Structure 1
């Protein structure tokens, strides 16, 4: 056993009031950061301090939901709950955009006199999306292809969003946010732009701004379980549990078998 970690079997013995599902919930909220090696789950000494506090609170009769909300309030601005790094490790959560089918359009200039060539922009965009989805993609080449598309047509919102996604995936939050902001200025009804922009604000600890973006996304796509989920999370991070509750409930209706359904059930009550 590593000197600075203990296995889950020791945690269960030391903190018997903590059930396995509660340990999983704490990990989902990123209040503890267990690792798995050789079939065993390990907790750091820092995790043990949190687990001890939770265990004592549960023994005093508090619910896990109340304990989690208290810890969230204490750590507001410091947590990495559902942050970009975690999401990238579990699969991207940003939304990719495809071009709509339409007929070829001639080259022209925009209102500022900038030359616009939609056909060449779309050719570059399609090349970028093919590379983006290919095994062993070369990220700089994909990004350059999206930049080429934007150079030919600065109003090509799907290229702005997808290039933003690549920056987001690399942890370049300011660059990603700037591209998403440009996209929603050009297309205020772009769900993906608002949804992804919300992630950049959330990951930067700007939860009020995240709420505003996720709210736009939910208004544009009321049946998006993901948008409801992240809006609920952002409200919780602001200590606004009452505002979060209807979106936890909506997530349950939209995604009864969703990844975060246990969490939604816990916090919807």
Structure 2
């Protein structure tokens, strides 16, 4: 079953990473963890996240939102149905439609209208607020193509990521994924060059620095990895995975006090108490 990264959530749902982490800390969704302790979201998680944000924006009480989301998750299919999916307000109810089938999630005046579909293997979520004029045809989405190709055609994905950064040099997610995929393919020198180019182009992006730190660790460059992780935390002190990796690294370097401090912060962030 396909899973989605924090960057995928940002692209598909237009949710900033800090908003996603806030919803996780609020208990609205419980994503799995990948091999690097990074968040991995299911199709259901994506729908629940986007619905949670819409309900919060509608100022629905959190207790009622949780009840609605629990019901929504129970009724959602495990993967995208071929007919697509729509979540909308009908009268005073939230209704989910899968093809011709419809079910009520909960009652309440919810300002919500989402259409979910798969196009060329890529998940799309569209919120309907009001009619808008027809937009011109979009340019080719190299980033979406790269995401779709990663599991089936890694070389094609690498090429698409290269096109993505060529077309938008400030696309931090494309740079990050390009470097990560090169790293996973064992092309560490190329990955290192991509991360350095990216940082020179867009500045200190926390996820980019985090991935660079992972690479530097694997290359045995512990001091450089420490610097990358520390800079990432300067940009985003709530990057829990970075605290976790720093704790491991400090322990390996024989600095238990530093390791304990970062492990404690990692646990506090996971529990929802970052202070």
TM-score interval (norm. to shorter): 0.3 to 0.5
Please give the TM-score of this superposition, normalised by the length of structure 1: 0.47
Q: TM-score normalised to the size of structure 2?
A: 0.46
